[in-house]
Copies of this chain bind each other. A is one copy, B any other.
Amino acid sequence: MNQAGPAGTAGPPRGGPVIALDAMGGDHGPAETVAGAVAAVREHGLRVVLVGRLAELTGLLAEHGAAGEVPVVHAEDTLAMNEGALASWRRPRSSVAVACKLIRQGDASALVSAGSTGGVVATSTVRLRTQPGVLRAALAVVLPTRPRPTVLLDAGANADAKPEMLVQFAHLGAAYAHTAHGVAEPRVGMLTIGAEPGKGNRLARKSSELLAATASEPPRLDYRGHIEGHDLLAGEVDVVVTDGFTGNVALKTVEGTVRFAFDAVHDALTSTRRARAGALLQRKALRGLRESLDSESTGGAVLLGLNGTVVIAHGASRARGIERACMLAADLAASRIVDQIRRRVTPPARGTSWLHRLGHPDDH
């Protein structure tokens, strides 16, 4: 492996966690990831290591006049955007796998990738492993609710989950809301159908019962009960817990519906000459709104529960999306979210907590 000083021989201006950026991931490839890395380093003083094909990345850095500014670690292989979970076994030298190696070696604290979600989740889960006591890592996304954002998890890492996993997801999400959004005591809800206890499918019912029964034990949780699809964007809780299948369907339904509603508004606003005249006056206001709802602005999804911070940027990310994902990763790593999760899933009192007693399921 051709290495050019992972922890910054030509170090960035200030300290802080080192971000290993998968430079090869994403629909737009290295040109955008390198531009994003340069912006993250120059404008925000982050410490970023680019991981990918050395020659290609060095050339792109030179175009930015940043040849010595951002270190590069060579990885000869890449994950294709359509590669899924099996990718992790097939490609030990992929840029994602090499970035994970940097974290395991202590040369980086966080991974950022705009690669395929399935490939990054599988690769980083296999190579970074779940934290002690964590049954499964969960993918967390941030919904643009007001006044505070809402964390939705699992957004797709575990299509078939068990109640014990969902209970842990509640704690992973609470740690995230605490760390990333500064919420002292995050309110947690369970995504299900029907607001009353006893409603929902088997998984949601059992998970909700277990959460309600254990919320007052340490690690304490402010469990608020059921949340319906109607209220996913109502900002009534700080964390919404669900399995990876339901969460992924819900997330993508939100994204598809926002697009649908905007297209419908656009059509309505340009349907008559009178309406078109109005639209001109509003172009700026609508553009601002579209940007604020744009998923790129949230920085990406976060895989919680591994021995290292993992941020998965949208596949369609441009330089600005990569830059924001790096900022999110640096924030999470700097505020030691991994330690916060460890405190929640491995409480101090002699391992007597029910969460500790749950242990690992057979298939893990």
Contacts and interface: CB of A to CB of B under 8 A. Distances in A.
Interface stretch (A106-114, A213-221, A276-284, A338-346): A276-284
Contact of A256 (B196, B202, B234, B278): B234
Nearest to A249: B229
A262 interface: yes
Nearest to A205: B159
A159 B196 CA distance: 14
A268 B285 contact: yes
A89 interface: no
Interface residues of A, number: 61
A67 interface: no
Instruction: State the copy count for this chain.
Output: 2
A234 B231 CA distance: 23
B289 A285 contact: no
Contacts of A289: 264-265, 267-268
Contacts of A244: 193, 201
A194 interface: yes
Nearest to A233: B260
Nearest to A280: B278
A314 to B, nearest CB: 12
A159 B261 contact: no
A90 interface: no
Given A193-B248, A275-B282, A281-B277, A258 B257 contact: yes
A50 to B, nearest CB: 29
A245 B193 contact: yes
A183 interface: no
Contacts of A234: 256, 260
A160 interface: yes
A268 B280 contact: no
A288 interface: yes
A118 interface: yes
A245 B231 CA distance: 16
A118 B196 CA distance: 12
A30 interface: no
A76 interface: no
Given A245-B200, A261-B262, A289-B264, A253 B275 contact: no
A168 to B, nearest CB: 18
A243 B156 CA distance: 18
A254 interface: yes
A105 interface: no
A271 B277 CA distance: 17
Contact of A261 (B200, B257, B284, B288): B257
Chain A to chain B: the 5 pairs with minimum beta-carbon distance, closest first: A229-B252, A278-B281, A278-B278, A261-B261, A229-B253
